[in-house]
Amino acid sequence: MQLTANIQNHHFDHILLNAAGVMCQTNEELNTVLSSSYTGAVVTKSATADHRPGNPAPRYYELPNHLGTINSMGLPNEGFNYYLDYVSTNPSQKPIFFSIAGLSKQENLDMLHQLQNSDFDGLIELNLSCPNVPGKPQTAYDFEATQQILSEAFAFFKKPLGVKLPPYFDIVHFDMIADILNQFPLAFVNTINSIGNGLVIDEDSDTVVIKPKGGFGGIGGTLVKATALANVRALRQRLNADIKIIGTGGVTTGRDVYDHILCGADLVEVGSQLAIEGITVFDRLERELTAILEEKGYQSLEEVRGQLKVL
Ligand code: RRO
């Protein structure tokens, strides 16, 4: 069974890849994701202009009973130039998503200018949804700021550009963000980032489990699946057909991948479960997905994508 997808002129031989932040900070990690026979691409750790160590540890925690994860990494990354060097020597034929998360609008626009003027021929993901930098709100919860940065970016930026969104929880907010995104020639929308500012408590010690921000952090994994599916579905129903959707959130089984596709995802990213299970997660997920498709008698993903039934 062929499990493929396209975003603009980029072809993906497999629909799975890492979610930004997991297994993608160093060259070695990026190479690991690319070298899997079951990934269609890699996305780099969101870059800031300069190297950042991120927040103090402990800053990542796996909840018991496979519920998911909480993180407040704080945007640790090697700096924009490190990833620009990496992509210029892309060791594989697979597309690369270059993720950026500047600490200001100007920092994002400066990085986009550099990408525009570079030889990079992959896709760019503008992360408007990091929940973990103290004092910096998630841009995409500010509709005016989102419209503004996209207007300024698309005034000069011509390469395939998408945005990474936080989860929305209100139908009016789905309408509002879709109205904004539809004004721009976006290549894709990636939904969802972690659910920001959750709080997890250790039952033995009555303490929080991560240090930054008094224990508040982004929630990922099984806990967020329903929210992720709702966002994929709601945006697929509202966005122009030429804006592709990357579904992220709550993927631990092939059934979860299948559900994202039913809701309209073109590609599916794996974050928490990749951190927990390692690179072989892609092999397992693709096998489980293929088994479901075969059992249901489907020949291709096209027969499933967006075909969720309602009552
Ligand atoms: O580095 C982080 O703390 C982080 C980022 Br940039 C993000 O976009 N999402 C997340 O859960 N953590």
What CATH number is associated with residue 178? 3.20.20.70
Among 118, 162, 111, 110, which residue's Cα sits nearest to residue 140? 162
Give the ipTM of the model, two decimals please. 0.99
Is residue 202 included in any domain, yes or no? no
Q: Given this model, what pLDDT does residue 233 score?
A: 99
pLDDT > 90 fraction of the chain, expressed in percent and rounded: 98
Centre of ligand 1 to C-alpha 302, Å, is 31
In the set 46, 129, 194, 272, the catalytic residue is: 129
Q: Read off the pLDDT of residues 3-29 as tens digits, 9 standing for 90 and up.
A: 999 999 999 999 999 999 999 999 999
- Annotated catalytic residue 130: yes
Please choose from 132, 163, 219 the residue to mutate so as to test ligand 1's pocket, defined by most ligand atoms within 8 A of CB: 132
Domain range holding 139? Answer: 5-54+74-193+221-303
SS3 98: strand
Is residue 207 included in any domain, yes or no? no
Q: What total number of domains does the chain contain?
A: 1
- Weakly modelled stretches of the chain, pLDDT under 50: none
Nearest CA residue ID for atom 8, ligand 1: 130
101 Cβ closer than 6 Å to some ligand 1 atom: yes
Residue 304: phi and psi, rounded to 5, are: -110, -35
Q: Given this model, what pLDDT does residue 13 score?
A: 97
55 Cβ closer than 6 Å to some ligand 1 atom: no
Centre of ligand 1 to C-alpha 71, Å, is 7
Q: Given this model, what pLDDT does residue 2 score?
A: 83
Is residue 61 included in any domain, yes or no? no
* Residue 250 near residue 224 (C-beta atoms within 8 A): yes
Half-sphere exposure for 57 (CA within 13 Å, toward CB): 2
